[in-house]
Amino acid sequence: MEERISWIEHKGQDEPLFDEAFLRRLERLTLLSRRALAGQLEGERRSPKRGGSVEFADFRPYAPGDDFRQIDWNAYARLERFYLKLFLQEEDLCVHLLLDASKSMDWGRPHKFDYARRLAGALGYVALCGLDRVTIHAFYGAGSRTFAPHRGRGQAMALFAFLGNLPSGGAADLAAALRSYVLQAPRPGPLLLISDLLDPHWAQGLRALRLRPFEVTVLHLLSPDEVAPDLSGDLRLLDVETEAPCEITADPLTLRRYRQGVAAWREEVRQQCQKLGLIYVPLETDVLIESLIWAVLRQRGVLR
């Protein structure tokens, strides 16, 4: 494996996505699933189906046509009746990574979209190493791009290349994009949304995620200069997506009200997620990916 396994292009500069040491640490993690879901291929997830793993599940009476090799002869010796010994079957899940690639994500210090792509790459790699299938769906103003479901660690390079080449731009309709994906996705599973939620219809988008039984984690990503901007004086601000102007006087009172408004909005998002049964993780791009992965997401029950 190369020391620099993949690259992100941003403003004419190439930056490494991950190095080999970081990937080796990711291989020790697992994406948690809060309930058993039937997969399609054998993997490392506990399935509601019965199969041939080493973990005992139950007994059932023998029926003509059953595999006689599964008969429990110890039970026959005690009960003089034939019973089969059933085991839990381990199967793969499909992990859905939804990435907001709208123009509002192409902003901030540190840069939100670069951070989001690295986060999606890390989570995708963890899932691939766990033999889950991984799909990525990035949505933006003009449409979307999808990384079709892939399985196995050998698909990591393709996943990283997809993320490294993703464009951003336009004003995404969050509610429409999420509703369309949820209704068309082939099979529910763990779903992780990475977005700044800077859309007036963000609440409708979150409700759309409950149209099917996905296990949803909302990774709400903002940059520090959005949470607590360092501004002063009379300014004319432009909306990064619509270019609508807004004239302000950035005095201490205005900045304090702004910070209070951001805090209230985040709390509203948290309450909405709690009401819908979604895991909510507020993030800022100055948090190291390593700290996010090994501390925050493990504490929130997203990774183990």
Tokens of 280: 């909510």
* Long-range Cβ contact pairs of 225-229 (< 8 A, separation 24 or more): 225/108, 225/109, 226/108, 226/196, 226/262, 227/259, 227/262, 227/284, 228/255, 228/259, 229/255, 229/258
As a whole number, mean pLDDT of residues 128-139 equals 93
What does the mean pLDDT of the chain come to? 85
Tell me the sheet residues that pair with 145. Answer: 138
Print the SS3 string covering the chain: CCCECCEEEECCEEEECCEHHHHHHHCCCCECCCCCCCCCCEEEEEEEEEEEEEEEEEEEECCCCCCHHHECHHHHHHHCCCEEEEEEEEECCEEEEEEECCHHHCCCCCCHHHHHHHHHHHHHHHHHHCCCEEEEEEEECCEEEEEEEEECHHHHHHHHHHHHCCCCCCCCCHHHHHHHHHHHCCCCCEEEEEECCCCCCHHHHHHHCCCCCCEEEEEEEECHHHHCCCCCEEEEEECCCCCCEEEEEECHHHHHHHHHHHHHHHHHHHHHHHHHCCEEEEEECCCCHHHHHHHHHHHCCCEC
**Measured CA distances, 255 to 47, 97, 226 (Å):** 51, 34, 11
- Provide CATH code, domain 7-36+92-299: 3.40.50.410
Of 293, 144, 126, 133, the residue nearest 219 (C-alpha):
293
**268-302 pLDDT per residue, tens:** 999 999 999 999 999 999 999 999 999 999 999 99
- Tell me, what's the pLDDT at 57? 54
CATH 3.40.50.410 domain residues, the chain: 7-36+92-299
Evaluate if residue 6 carries a pLDDT over 70.
no
Tokens of 195: 């977005």
Please, which pLDDT band fits residue 15 given cuts at 50, 70 and 90?
low
Please, which pLDDT band fits residue 44 given cuts at 50, 70 and 90?
very low
| Cα pseudo-dihedral 18, 24, 25, 29, rounded to 10 | 110
Total residues belonging to the chain: 304
Is 0.95 surpassed by the pTM of this model? no
